[in-house]
Amino acid sequence: MAELQARWHQAMADLSEAQWQAVLGGAGGCAAAEALPFFSWRWLHQLEASASIISRQGWQPCHLGLWRDERLVAVAPLYLKGHSYGEFVFDQSFAQLAGKLGLRYYPKLVGMSPLSPVQGYRFLFAAGEDEAELTAAMLELIDDFCRRNSILSCNFLYVDPAWQPVAEAAGCALWLNQQSQWTNPGHVDFEAYLASFNANQRRNIRRERKTVSEEGITVTPLAGEAIPPRLLGRMHAFYEQHCRRWGPWGSKYLTEAFFDAAALDLRRHLVLFSAHRGDPGEPLAMSLCVRGGDQLWGRYWGSDVDTANLHFEVCYYAPIEWAIAQGLCRFDPGAGGSHKRRRGFIAEPRASLHRWSDPEFDAILRQWLPGANRRVLEEIEAVNAELPFSAAYDPPHAGPQSHGPDP
């Protein structure tokens, strides 16, 4: 068998789409590759090609590939970052600790789908390869890269629960955070979903939806090829306007060029929820969601009107109603927002995995993490105990747990 060669790639364009998609699918084939569009070659390539994810924005692509002759057998999507924005795993306290120890925290190495708090990060392997063996080998290469370039930390965010124990066994440290998720236990329509709530919350949700309809506003889903390309340009305007509302705190990361590319290159994965009076092609407000396999992800929204509860309708209720009709099992609405809990989204743990090159820094954080993870799990349990479900409804609970030593 030919010896493996490691190569560092500073752009997705260094790799062909066919090569990348083959390892993304792995043993699961094409269906597995389609299930997680945020890690597809086209999605990651368009982030770079649109100048949304580039070095001057603090994201330097630095993908590690393992090659056997000219065949890609494994790859780790990685980025050198000069800040912590666009990650949604908040490590500013780590940066403060580094400063107190006289260490430089940035740049750092990050593995994720940029700007998207989407569970599923892992190293990608061709079918038939030994994942544990290659994971350990790639981590050694990453450690060596960090040492040679004086990089303090390597961080894998929102990791795939199936890959998590493999990476933990190879020495990665686990840090848990929480995120919201809606899971369909078998609801056949929106009324069945409403029936899972207690009587008071059912009335609240019906009242919120009614305030939107009484304004003469209808929400129409447009999916895949049914999306007029010009509406992606309109979606960028909504996205830009929504970010502008927050002034210097606004998180405007994506360029207009990314939405133009989405209209042509990524449309089959997209779902727009257009809020309109009359023509869905003339939206007053709109949200953009992404579909892959049996899951829906909420990403961006914006509005030209100040209508009570329109955000809840466009970003939560209409997508849930559509997801049920499409037979989807899960809806991840995105990061943050305690208001999601009252609308049926359950708190779940999300795992990130970390490695640090400085022995003192590493020892301090590994000592702190088990207690921090216990507190996160306790908080999740407390939050979910207060969800407004009916006494007869047993909501599904799921999420990654530590596969390492018992904390």
In the sheet with 4-9, reading across from the earlier edge strand, the strands are 4-9, 63-68, 71-76, 124-125
Instruction: Average the pLDDT over 172-190 and give the result.
Output: 95
pLDDT digits 0-9 by tens, 133-153: 999 999 999 999 999 999 999
**CA 235 to CA 156: how far, in whole Å?**
30
**pLDDT, averaged across the chain:** 92
Instruction: Average the pLDDT over 203-210 and give the result.
Output: 97
- Distance from the Cα of residue 18 to its chain's centroid: 23
Banded model confidence at residue 28, pLDDT cuts 50, 70, 90:
confident
Q: What is the pLDDT of residue 407?
A: 29
Task: Give burial (CB, 10 Å; 0-12/13-18/19+) of 202.
Answer: middle
Q: Percent of the chain having pLDDT more than 70?
A: 94
Instruction: Average the pLDDT over 309-326 and give the result.
Output: 97
Instruction: Average the pLDDT over 365-387 and give the result.
Output: 96
Q: Percent of the chain having pLDDT more than 90?
A: 85
Is 0.85 surpassed by the pTM of this model? yes
Banded model confidence at residue 191, pLDDT cuts 50, 70, 90:
very high
Q: What is the pLDDT of residue 404?
A: 38
Q: Are strands 285-292 and 295-303 parallel, antiparallel or unpaired?
A: antiparallel
Tokens for 397, please give them.
């609970």
Banded model confidence at residue 337, pLDDT cuts 50, 70, 90:
low
Banded model confidence at residue 395, pLDDT cuts 50, 70, 90:
confident
Q: Quick one: 4-178+349-385 is in which CATH superfamily?
A: Gcn5-related N-acetyltransferase (GNAT) (3.40.630.30)
Which CATH code is given to the segment(s) 185-328? 3.40.630.30
Q: What is the pLDDT of residue 199?
A: 96
**CA 259 to CA 271: how far, in whole Å?**
13
Q: What is the pLDDT of residue 291?
A: 97
Report how far apart the first and last C-alpha atoms of the chain are (Å, whole number): 41
**CA 11 to CA 60: how far, in whole Å?**
9
Beta strands in 148-284 (DSSP E): 153-156, 173-183, 218-223, 270-276
User: Hey, where are the domains in the chain?
Assistant: 4-178+349-385, 185-328
Share in percent of the chain as helix, strand, coil (round to 5):
45, 25, 35
Q: What is the pLDDT of residue 405?
A: 33
Banded model confidence at residue 325, pLDDT cuts 50, 70, 90:
very high
Provide the CB-side half-sphere exposure for 292 (13 A, CA). 20
Q: Could you check whether 4-178+349-385 and 185-328 share the same CATH topology?
A: yes
Helix (H) / strand (E) containing 9: strand 4-9
Q: What is the pLDDT of residue 398?
A: 45
Q: What is the pLDDT of residue 250?
A: 57
Banded model confidence at residue 87, pLDDT cuts 50, 70, 90:
very high
Q: What is the pLDDT of residue 29?
A: 67
pLDDT digits 0-9 by tens, 93-121: 999 999 999 999 999 999 999 999 999 99
- Cβ neighbors of 93 (< 8 A, separation 6 or more) are none
Rg (CA), the chain: 22
**CA 43 to CA 38: how far, in whole Å?**
6
Residue 387 scores a pLDDT above 60: yes
Cis peptide before 400 (omega within 30 of 0): no
Instruction: Average the pLDDT over 325-353 and give the result.
Output: 90
Instruction: Average the pLDDT over 340-361 and give the result.
Output: 94
Residue 248 scores a pLDDT above 60: no
